Chains A and B, each alone.
Chain A
Amino acid sequence: MANHDDDPGALLALAEQVAGWARDDEGVEVVVGHSRETEVRAYDGEIESFVASESRGVGIRVVQGSRQGFAWAGSHDLDVLRETLAEAQDNARFATEDPHVGLAEPDGVAPVALELHDGRLDSVPTERKLQLALELERCILAGDPRMAGVESADYSDAVSVAAVVSSTGIRALERDSVCSLSAYSLAGDGDETTTGFGFSVARSPEDLDLEACAADAVDRAVRLLGAGRMPTGRLTVVLDPWVTAQLLSVVAEAFSGTEVLRGRSWLADRVGEKVAPEWVTLADRPTDPRWIGAASVDDEGLATRTVPLIEAGRVQGFVHDSYSARATGTTSTGSAVRAGHRSTPSAGVRAVVLDPGAAAPARILAEVGEGLYVSEVQGMHSGVNPVSGDFSTGVEGMVIRDGALAEPVREITIASTLPRMLSGIRAVGDDLTPLPLDAAGVTLAIDDVSVSGS
């Protein structure tokens, strides 16, 4: 086993060594990753669990002529790396010929220098991490007399390094750190129990906001006490930033060049068409380090860049990796994403941002007058179809009456279609929020959504 393989230089050297094993008549792309993670869970004033882990991985893509093969392994042992390359080579023999298959080629775009690894995390003592989880639980329980418990109060962090090297001349390295506090809380009143959650994400613990995380976990649970259903009808809904980010993440799937190419995007033929009010701007902004999904290079080693998706309410284009770009006669937008080292890349977003408006959330509520404020959604993946655009989710939230939040509601659904929701955007808040998702959060008001209740 290679020692010190969390050292970026050593990781890059390892990837270069493996890529160097390529035969003359084939292309080889090697992705090697290393991560070191800590997870602490507090419960009932004790440390319930403490997980210390170190993971390694490799993914090898081989292109022979116009066929591609892939293999991966959770190890950096040289004999495993050799076996993985041989498997990828063998796998390539069974693919169908495809003239667009190929590895990314350097495109001359220089990566934006981003400092995504906060060195302060490296020197945070374990004791401090344990304290953060314990303090989070304590703060939530002390936050309101109606708090009935904390299902989990967690601190976690990860430092990850990944290198991409290919026989086509790609040589890229990314190192980042992320840490978070997260909690699931329980509030009770008699027989009734409600749940809430809170989190805070940063690149080093000094920047975590424990008080805000705890306050959110308390408020979200307590304000739902007494929730009932509401009548079925069509309403204006105002989405909490957390809910908006999940919606944008689903909308973004239709902007994937891979999905467009495969005839699975409802936006495929709509470039230039108006799909939202003309003051709406949506873009993927992976070079802005405020977003947790930020990266200087994509998962094929090309520089990431801002990709406009909607401007003046009109569809501008799609995000592409090198394959979807080649197959549609365009160039990669540096948007190759993979689910770790275990998969080949496809085109996807990292940091979708809906440009904020000028109004604070309270002003949006006042302006909306009557409607439904959605604070949490259930079933975003079971009830939303990014191909057909059908949208339906379970929600919890509050009735909006006389321009302010009124009684809580639960066990209801909201439904529409993604195209109707985009064109129905009424207002965007000024509260752009980083979240651990591939989209940023912001308060969003949408007109004419079906609410199904009693």
Chain B
Amino acid sequence: MIDQDVLERVLGVAARGGADFAEVFVEDKRSSSAVLDDGRVEELTSGRDRGAGIRVVAGESTGFAHTADLSEAGLVAAAAIASEAARAQGSGTREVALDADTAPRPNVVRILPGDVPKARKVELLTRADHAARAQGAAVTQVMARYSDSRRRILVANTDGTLASDDQVRTVFSISCVATGDTGMQTGRETLGHTVGFELFDDHDVEELAARAAQRAVTKLAARPAPSGQMPVVIGAGGGGVMFHEACGHGLEADLVAKGASVFRDRVGEQVASPLVTLVDDGTMGGEWGCFAIDDEGRPAQRNVLIQDGVLVDYMWDGLRARRAGRPSSGNGRRQSYQHLPMVRMTNTYLLGGRGDADSIVADTPSGVYIAHLGGGQVNTATGDFVFGMTEAYLIEDGRITEPLREGNLIGNGPEVLRNIDAVAADFAMGPPGTCGKDGQGVPVGDGVPTLRVHGLTIGGTAA
């Protein structure tokens, strides 16, 4: 994207005056989307963002500037602003020599979405719409959305790193509204992978649409969720977001360093039930949070965070790792060239255990079964987290019975980790997610086997 000698000169300006570290992050991202709503293809959208972010670290301070002007003059101007912002003392430029690395790609993209005729993308939407409406007259509204993106990045820094990646993501989502005597209910399904248009060779949008529509229809008959503390069984693939919230964020080294994590100073300690082994894995080919290099040029890694309940390590970006005198774990990510990187998760999942999903439900006299969780949120300092139930059922006498209306669950991360008393072998990854932190969103994946927490608080309205 930019010549190596230009990058070296720009870094030389950025790192002038005794800066400890300087970095150029270049991004060229093209995206396209198509939306169908109310039976009509509303519009197709194409977007392009291209620019560079320049970061300079001097002592405890980081300066950052970005520009959409990728000429050498534009980059040098941004480098000067970043250097001034970092308040490095002194003047003159520095010699920087870059050494190109090649990180293995987590998977090969077979069909670049940019090569696919727009008419084929539109056709997916109409097929999904028909399949959803075929689920019955109760389905009163359908919205389907197709999007793809190709994000090419290049990272060069004063440690000599010169690395690049080409990240292609394709996602399809469908949201249905069902209407009945009890009002309106919604059902949503999302399919997304770090792959190209071959996504639709491997997955069927009609099946996805039918599932979303059935979920909305099922919920018309749903009763209010209970309130209070009770056993909760989470289905395979449906609840990875719980671990993302309950402990993932609390294991991010930046929050730990600021004292804003309940997991601070607990490495080596038993922080969870021995049934819990939690992994964050950026190398997982095709998954939503995978990549060849992170947004600081580090190759993706598979990091075990909790092994058999014992806290093994936190997740690290370059800045936090540098201060702790250790290598980054490949978790430095950013939303775009307009943002500073920070510690972020990739694909976070709980390994399967030895239990059997059916017997876990059968061994639960009463409680709630959650097939799908929605989004969540955590306060890392207290560990208190919430997440929404988008598909849940009552468990009565060891059997899954009536559907429940939507609501939030609330729990405390460390307590919930200790209260996991059954983990099945049926591991599955869940739908793609966008994780928000400090105003930045990045794509993440999650996965879980069927598991049971023996006490979680369900925020319903029924007594």
Contacts and interface: CB of A to CB of B under 8 A. Distances in A.
B407 A50 contact: no
A335 to B, nearest CB: 18
Contacts of A232: 227-228, 463
Contacts of B459: 383, 392-394, 413-415, 452
B408 A383 contact: yes
B406 A385 contact: yes
A52 B340 CA distance: 11
A98 interface: yes
Nearest to B84: A52
B387 A379 contact: yes
A387 B178 CA distance: 10
B201 interface: no
Nearest to B410: A394
B454 to A, nearest CB: 15
Given A49-B64, A415-B227, A452-B457, A383 B406 contact: yes
A411 B49 contact: no
Given A49-B62, A392-B406, A193 B382 contact: yes
Given A379-B408, A415-B227, A88 B46 contact: yes
B228 A379 contact: no
Interface string B404-422: 0111111110000000000
A53 B338 contact: yes
A385 B41 contact: no
A75 B61 contact: no
B229 A48 contact: no
Contact of A390 (B37, B387, B407): B407
A168 interface: no
A33 to B, nearest CB: 13
B140 interface: yes
Contacts of A382: 374-377, 386-388, 408
Contacts of B225: 392, 415
B407 A383 contact: yes
Contacts of B183: 266, 388-389
A342 B382 contact: no
Given A94-B119, A193-B262, A50 B186 contact: no
Contact of B44 (A46, A95, A393, A416): A95
A412 B410 contact: yes
A29 to B, nearest CB: 12
A453 B47 contact: no
Task: Sort chain B's interface into a size bin.
Answer: 35 or more
A423 interface: no
A385 B42 CA distance: 24
A378 B61 contact: no
Interface string A429-454: 00000000000000000000011111
Contacts of A23: none
A73 B48 CA distance: 5
Nearest to A47: B61
A109 interface: no
Interface stretch (A63-71, A308-316, A363-371): A63-71
A51 B63 CA distance: 6
A30 to B, nearest CB: 15
Contact of B42 (A95, A152, A378, A412): A95
B260 interface: yes
A264 B183 CA distance: 11
A318 to B, nearest CB: 16
A84 interface: yes
A48 B61 contact: yes
Interface string B212-232: 000000010000010111000
Interface stretch (B65-73, B148-156, B297-305): B65-73
A411 B457 contact: yes
A93 to B, nearest CB: 8
A72 interface: yes
Contacts of B68: 55-56, 74-75
A416 B405 CA distance: 11
Interface string B280-300: 000000000000000000000
Nearest to B65: A52
Nearest to B51: A74
A377 to B, nearest CB: 9
Interface in A132-179: 148-149, 151-152
B141 interface: yes
A71 B38 contact: no
A9 B463 CA distance: 62
A312 B304 CA distance: 59
Given A69-B44, A411-B411, A263 B386 contact: no
B384 interface: yes
Interface string A259-279: 001111010000000000000
Contacts of A184: 260
Contact of A388 (B262, B381, B406): B406
Contacts of B61: 46-50
A44 interface: yes
A327 B255 CA distance: 49
Contact of B405 (A43, A69, A388): A388
Grouping DSSP codes into helix (H, G, I), strand (E, B) and loop, the A interface class, with mixed when no group exceeds half, is: strand
A309 B34 CA distance: 32
Given A262-B37, A390-B405, A51 B384 contact: no
Nearest to A55: B338
Contacts of B60: 43-44, 46-48
Interface in B245-300: 255, 258-260, 262
A68 B40 CA distance: 11
Interface in B5-55: 34, 37-51
A94 B34 contact: yes
Contact of B412 (A71, A80, A94, A411): A411
A264 to B, nearest CB: 6
A452 B460 contact: yes
B143 A262 contact: yes
A345 to B, nearest CB: 11
Contacts of A95: 40-44
Nearest to B62: A49
Nearest to A63: B43
Contact of B384 (A43, A93, A148, A394): A394
B410 A195 contact: no
A236 interface: no
A4 B385 CA distance: 47
B376 A70 contact: no
**Residue among A44, A90, A413 with most chain B CB within 10 A:** A413
B408 A91 contact: no
A50 B374 contact: no
B86 interface: yes
A49 B118 contact: no
A186 interface: yes
Contacts of A416: 461
B381 A151 contact: yes
Contacts of B49: 73-74
A101 to B, nearest CB: 9
Interface of B: 34, 37-51, 59-69, 81-82, 85-87, 118-119, 122, 140-141, 143, 177, 179, 183-186, 219, 225, 227-229, 255, 258-260, 262, 338, 340, 374-379, 381-382, 384-388, 405-412, 438, 457-461, 463
9 contacts: A43-B60, A51-B85, A53-B65, A96-B42, A186-B381, A342-B45, A385-B406, A388-B184, A415-B407
Given A50-B87, A80-B48, A149-B260, 16 more contacts: A48-B61, A50-B63, A50-B86, A53-B338, A94-B119, A95-B44, A98-B42, A193-B260, A194-B381, A195-B379, A195-B381, A263-B38, A385-B186, A392-B407, A413-B386, A415-B460
Interface of A: 1, 43-44, 46-56, 68-75, 80, 83-84, 87-88, 90-96, 98, 148-149, 151-152, 184, 186, 193-195, 232, 261-264, 266, 342-344, 378-379, 381-383, 385, 387-390, 392-394, 396, 410-417, 450-454
